[in-house]
Amino acid sequence: MYIYIHIPFCDCICSYCDFCKILYNNKYINNYLDNLEKEINCRYKNELIKSIYIGGGTPSSLSYQELERLFNIIKIFKLDSNYEFTIECNVNNLDINKIKLFKDNGVNRVSLGVQSFNKEILTILNRSHTYKEVYNVINNLKNNNINNINIDLIYGVNDNIDIVKKDIDYFLSIDIPHISCYSLIIEDNTLLKINNYQNIDEDIEYEMYKYIENKLTSNGYIHYEISNYAKEGYSSIHNINYWDNGSYYGFGLGSVSYIDNYRISNTKNISKYNKGIYISNREYEDMNTNMSNDMILGLRKIKGVSISKFYNKYKKDIREVFDIDDLINNKILIIDNDNMYIDSKYIYLSNQVLIRFIK
């Protein structure tokens, strides 16, 4: 089983953010952690855990004492011997004491929200850190034997590809094994949307995507999912479970669980959550929905889906269930032994392929 825990608090709000987050205010935190503990204690059924992922929000915005409390709460989980334990952090609030606390509590992977090293881009995104600060945090992590580090980058904030090139060069210079690269999406109810910020030209965005892919793969990173690259052995175990449409618990405000074919959504309302009303929706997913999700999530992976696994799970052939012969004949979908995947030329436009798997 896999576990996601949501810590919704952030020190400041990024202009592109549509995640479930709240400005840090310590008057909420104790009550939130009390309820998180209650929710975990009443829903967790003592399964063996392969991965814990503490995301947000910004988990590292919690104080040292609040993080200590959080780690005490999650001691209840029975961990598999080679578990992955990730925590999302921002450079600005990750000091050496918190890093040592992570290490002492079994964290073995840190994901840093960096987004860019360029001042102009960071100002647009309403974030602030310098290359030196990122470099120092990464050194502190490595010195404490946390070497499995991811950074998130955003490209396409403006149409200057030289900024993207420099960001990738900076990333390569800090020598870490994982990077997630997302193009900027201007979501509703974000500061960017309110300020009528415009997307850049799609062709330039595609040029950036190809540049990133070529540069990273020629420097030893494996492109294993549309937006994710890792050195051999460093793919995210936690996220692969999502793309495999596997089961997981989501605890905390706004989180989602997928258990026994039920998609369970927690409330996004902190007042309700802090009163113990955790779940806002529970939906059963039938076999058609499961088959669609297996394909739509699985084809995000560069190696795609296993044809025999799909057959063993549903006793049906993928080509019998979905009308995709034209995609196969036109070599948009490739069949290679047991794998079906989207040809790399089309992966950037994968939504147009994935839509064909909606039933």
Are 44 and 77 in contact, with CB atoms under 8 Å apart?
Answer: yes
Q: How far is the CB of 56 from ligand SF4 (least distance, A)?
A: 5
Dist. CA 350–CA 259, nearest whole Å: 27
Does 6 participate in binding ligand SF4 (rule CB under 6 A)? Answer: no
Q: Considering the complex, state which of residue 21 and residue 238 has its C-beta at the smaller distance from ligand SF4.
A: 21
Residue 96: how many CB atoms within 10 A of its CB? Answer: 13
Q: How far is the CB of 88 from ligand SF4 (least distance, A)?
A: 8
Q: How far is the CB of 247 from ligand SF4 (least distance, A)?
A: 25
Nearest partner of 252 among 269, 237, 236, 240, judged by Cα: 269
Quick one: which of 1, 3, 7, 17 contacts ligand SF4 (CB under 6 A)? 17
Does 112 participate in binding ligand SF4 (rule CB under 6 A)? Answer: no
Q: Considering the complex, state which of residue 4 and residue 322 has its C-beta at the smaller distance from ligand SF4.
A: 4
**Which burial class, exposed, middle or buried, applies to 300 when counting CB atoms under 10 A from its CB (0-12, 13-18, 19+)?**
buried
Does 180 participate in binding ligand SF4 (rule CB under 6 A)? Answer: no
Residues 29-68 that bind ligand SF4 (CB under 6 A): 56-58
User: If residue 223 lies in a helix (H) or strand (E), which one and from where to where?
Assistant: strand 222-225
Cα dihedral 293, 297, 298, 304, rounded to 10, equals 130
Quick one: which of 3, 5, 7, 14 contacts ligand SF4 (CB under 6 A)? 14
Query: What is the distance in angstroms between the CA of the first residue and the CA of the last residue of the chain?
Result: 27
Q: Considering the complex, state which of residue 10 and residue 347 has its C-beta at the smaller distance from ligand SF4.
A: 10
Residue 130: how many CB atoms within 10 A of its CB? Answer: 12
Q: Which stretch binds ligand SF4 (CB under 6 A): 15-23, 130-138, 158-166, 274-282?
A: 15-23
Q: Which residues contact 37 (CB under 8 A, 6 or more apart)?
A: 73
Q: How many residues bind ligand SF4 (CB under 6 A)?
A: 11
Interface positions with ligand SF4 (CB under 6 A): 10, 13-14, 17, 19, 21, 56-58, 90, 113
